[in-house]
Structure 1
Amino acid sequence: MTDHATTARPGAAPALPAPVPDPPGSATAPAPDPHPAPAPPGQTAEQVRDRLVRGAQLAVLLVGVTTQLTSCLPQLLANRDRFGAWWTEVVGFVVLAGVAATIATRLLRSRPMSRPLAFTLCGLCVAAAALASIPIPARLLLVADDWSFGIAGWYILAILLRTRMRTIAAVFAIHALVTVVEVLLKGVPDRYVTVQMGMVAVSVFGLELAVALLAVVLHRTAADAGEAAEREERTRTAEEIAEATHRDHRARYTRLLDTTVPLLTGLAYGALDPSDETVRRRAAVETARMRQLFAETDDVSDPLLHELRAGIDVAERQGVSVQLAVRGEIRPVPQPVRQELVETAAAVLASARTTARATVVRTPAAIRVSVLADAPAEGAAAVDAQRRSRTETTTTTKNGKLWVEAVWRTKSP
């Protein structure tokens, strides 16, 4: 917590009395901010990348499922009485189908897949392919009779499409190594068959690695598309905020016609006496309002304090000694809320005769702006007459002193 205070001039106001407790039932929930903050940077880009990559995973999974049902299943049934130990092929088929169901469930529910789960599923794919190919003779591996080799690669690709290319290549290499070990254990066939097996393996892996390379390009395209969408979102949000701010300023300038223009007209035509204390007080209030309006367009780190200092400056120009105390860390305050907090304080400061003390207290639950001044009791009626919907105001008059506190509650008590 920080505490900043300006040096008090001679004759400064005494210490601020203990705040008057809020009357029961006076708390109101804070109004929604009419200028919502834009989404955190990168969020839109991440969403775009996730949608595109998830669509690519679904496409690869659909290729794998279609291949398993239209090509692998008929070959599985055809192998029933050809090689013996058919149950190993059935178990391998069922395991691959279970892997496909797990991938589909994760993708359709938009649930991320952890690295342990992903590598476990990849291991199941490699193991299922090896199990299904056990009864297949060495000379028939990697051809039509060995249906499990290629389908396992498609499911591995669907699982690892979000990872780096080197990871996909490493898992494919393990898959190929398991097949090579199986060929060595069963006996290496003649050279012609071996070359044919190598050509089939290169064709299968070549197609699947080409899809993986397209996924890398898709990642980059998704990143570019996400950044473009993020820039568009920031631009649209900035335009909406600027438009809303412009409308608010026009409305407030229009309201000045009901207060400032009659005052200036009366002074110009002599209908109002500049030496009259009431007239001077009205002029000070209108000056504070205009200074606050001008201060809102300044780019500062603490807009609330900056706008409050504009009202303090007006009071000091009237010969009032003002002491300012600030407690709490800087917090973002919506512009409509700042307007109500500062206008309440500025009205009291403009009515002060000789001394005033302004206090800003910022806590996680509320932001309080209070002013204690030797202002006339009529100032309380002027404060109560102000229109406000986002803040609560308490006024107290005692021994020629006027104390006013405006509160914006960020959390319900």
Structure 2
Amino acid sequence: MGEDFRQLITRHQLRGIRAGGLVILVTLHIGSALPGLLGGLGEYRYPWIPLAAYGLLTLILGGSVVLGLDGRPWPRGWVPCALAGTFVASVATTSQVPPDHYFVSSFHWSYSLAGWFTVVLLGHRGPLVSGAFLGAHLAVTVALLLTVEVPSRSVGASMALSALSAGCFQMTIAAGAKLLLDSSAAIGQALRAQERVRTRIAVARQIQTDQRRRYAELNATVLPLLTGLASGSLDPEDDEVRHACALEAARLRRLFAESDCTFDPLVHEMRACIDVAERNGTTVQLAVRGDPLELPLPLRRALLDPVIAALAAAGQTARVTVVRGGDQVRVGVVVDALRDRLPEPKANGIRVRTVHAEDRLLVEAACRITARPELSDRPEPPWPPAWPSWSPAGRRSRT
């Protein structure tokens, strides 16, 4: 996200810098270079050369306007070709300028104009790159001047002042453009930090909401049970009280498992409940069929609640099955107990089936999935879970 912000900011900044440079370049090209060209046609030795050079610069300017206003990087090969064309046009025009008009006259319009082409094409590369091209251009121009005529000290000083003032101003613009583009990194970093803060605030609020909801659920079920045990109104030797404690312990363990990072949340939460039953002396077998699915949390709770209630009432053995195939998810348990007080499903579409056979009870919760959820990218927890089993019959087997 932060990188996208940086790219977007850089693109907008580059678009503004190029737009400003192109406005200056178009203004000078039409308002300064064209009058200088037309006014000096009689002074040039071969007037067609400056005219052809001006036409070439016009084509380069038009291409730069079309390619540069969207803020995207220049097409590959455009900058070298445009700079080469600018250099050739400037040198060709300079070769036709009278020696006493170098740098100081409007007849020598190509020198300053070539510098602004450099700013537009290389300004995003910084002052060093732009200065290298401007320095090479200045050196070639001075060489052309010296091959024709060596100016006097006063004229040379005037020429040097004019050339350096134009070049320094153009390099200053290039340096400012580079600094502005470099600021996009700091802006992107600030936006990333702001996004992280917002994410942390949203996560903290969600965690706080979940914690309040969980505490409300615990207050409704666990707190009365603990209060009764503490006050003595509930007898720990009573089978009903022990069953209620086992059920709430399984629900608490499932509640803790809901926040774990796991590849298969449904099976992971089911294993947490199985661990509670094994600690109570029940031997549990778990069978899993089908690919993992990331079901919504309310749906997982509704599927596991009836199974957890039956598992908490198990005596010596229990067999848990999780089957996922087609468009259905089924969670069932077979226990050696006769309990028929099971919680009602808390989600629409959950079907609970109970079957009594001799001394065993089958409880199955099933739901139909209209859209198959995507697999989670969370890693699968190790088997067995991290918590140990302390009960004598705490061995777990899988089939």
- TM surpasses 0.5: yes
Q: Which runs of 5 or more structure 2 residues have no equivalent in the other structure?
A: 376-399
- Residue 66 (structure 1) aligned with residue 30 (structure 2): no
Task: Answer yes or no: is the 8 Å Cα contact 2:126–2:175 preserved in 1.
Answer: no
Task: Give 1:228's aligned residue.
Answer: 190
Q: Kindly provide the amino acid, as one letter, of the partner of residue 318 in structure 2.
A: T
Offset, 1:250: 2.6
Pick from 372, 376, 379 the counterpart of residue 409 of structure 1: 372
Task: Give 1:355's aligned residue.
Answer: 318
Change (3 A) 1:212 1:259: same
Offset, 1:260: 5.2
Task: Give 1:321's aligned residue.
Answer: 284
Q: How does 1:162-311 map to 2 (within 5 A)?
A: 162-183=124-145, 187-192=148-153, 193-255=155-217, 275-276=239-240, 284-295=246-257, 304=265, 309-311=271-273
Change (3 A) 1:308 1:114: farther
Task: Give 1:386's aligned residue.
Answer: 346
Question: d(CA) in 2 for partners of 1:344 and 1:207?
Answer: 74
Count of residue correspondences: 358
- Residue 155 (structure 1) aligned with residue 117 (structure 2): yes
Pick from 292, 303, 317 the counterpart of residue 344 of structure 1: 303
Task: Answer yes or no: is the 8 Å Cα contact 1:308–1:342 preserved in 2.
Answer: no
Question: d(CA) in 2 for partners of 1:136 and 1:261?
Answer: 98
Q: Kindly provide the amino acid, as one letter, of the partner of residue 88 in structure 1.
A: I
Q: Kindly provide the amino acid, as one letter, of the partner of residue 118 in structure 1.
A: V
Change (3 A) 1:238 1:84: same
The 3-state SS of whatever aligns with 1:122 is helix
Offset, 1:56: 2.8
Question: d(CA) in 1 for partners of 2:90 and 2:351?
Answer: 77
- Residue 374 (structure 1) aligned with residue 338 (structure 2): no
Q: Kindly provide the amino acid, as one letter, of the partner of residue 311 in structure 1.
A: C
- Residue 93 (structure 1) aligned with residue 54 (structure 2): yes
Task: Answer yes or no: is the 8 Å Cα contact 1:373–1:401 preserved in 2.
Answer: yes
Question: d(CA) in 1 for partners of 2:353 and 2:249?
Answer: 24
Task: Answer yes or no: is the 8 Å Cα contact 2:46–2:96 preserved in 1.
Answer: yes
Question: d(CA) in 2 for partners of 1:132 and 1:393?
Answer: 86
The 3-state SS of whatever aligns with 1:124 is helix
Task: Answer yes or no: is the 8 Å Cα contact 1:371–1:404 preserved in 2.
Answer: yes
Question: d(CA) in 2 for partners of 1:138 and 1:395?
Answer: 101
Task: Answer yes or no: is the 8 Å Cα contact 1:349–1:356 preserved in 2.
Answer: no
Question: d(CA) in 1 for partners of 2:226 and 2:102?
Answer: 98
Task: Give 1:104's aligned residue.
Answer: 65
Larger Rg: 2
Deviations 1:1-51 (A, max 9, x none): xxxxxxxxxxxxxxxxxxxxxxxxxxxxxxxxxxxxxx3x53333433443
Offset, 1:239: 0.8
Q: Kindly provide the amino acid, as one letter, of the partner of residue 334 in structure 2.
A: D
Offset, 1:231: 0.6
Q: Kindly provide the amino acid, as one letter, of the partner of residue 386 in structure 1.
A: K
RMSD across aligned positions (CA): 4.6
Question: d(CA) in 2 for partners of 1:323 and 1:357?
Answer: 5
Offset, 1:359: 6.4
Pick from 87, 98, 107 the counterpart of residue 137 of structure 1: 98
Question: d(CA) in 1 for partners of 2:43 and 2:17?
Answer: 38
Q: Kindly provide the amino acid, as one letter, of the partner of residue 239 in structure 2.
A: S
The 3-state SS of whatever aligns with 2:211 is helix
Q: Which runs of 5 or more structure 1 residues have no equivalent in the other structure?
A: 1-38
**TM-score w.r.t. length of structure 1:** 0.67
Deviations 1:48-103 (A, max 9, x none): 34433443333233322232233223223322444254443344334334433433
Change (3 A) 1:140 1:294: same
Q: Kindly provide the amino acid, as one letter, of the partner of residue 199 in structure 1.
A: L
The 3-state SS of whatever aligns with 1:321 is strand
Change (3 A) 1:209 1:324: farther
- Residue 123 (structure 1) aligned with residue 84 (structure 2): yes
Q: Once the two structures are aligned, what percentage of the paired residues are identical?
A: 25
Task: Answer yes or no: is the 8 Å Cα contact 1:188–1:194 preserved in 2.
Answer: no
Task: Answer yes or no: is the 8 Å Cα contact 1:356–1:374 preserved in 2.
Answer: yes
Question: d(CA) in 2 for partners of 1:282 and 1:109?
Answer: 69
Question: d(CA) in 2 for partners of 1:190 and 1:80?
Answer: 23
Return the structure number with greater relative CO, CA threshold 8 A, min gap 6.
Answer: 1
Question: d(CA) in 1 for partners of 2:350 and 2:82?
Answer: 63
- Residue 79 (structure 1) aligned with residue 40 (structure 2): yes
- Residue 146 (structure 1) aligned with residue 100 (structure 2): no
Task: Answer yes or no: is the 8 Å Cα contact 1:138–1:187 preserved in 2.
Answer: yes
Offset, 1:207: 1.4
**TM-score w.r.t. length of structure 2:** 0.69
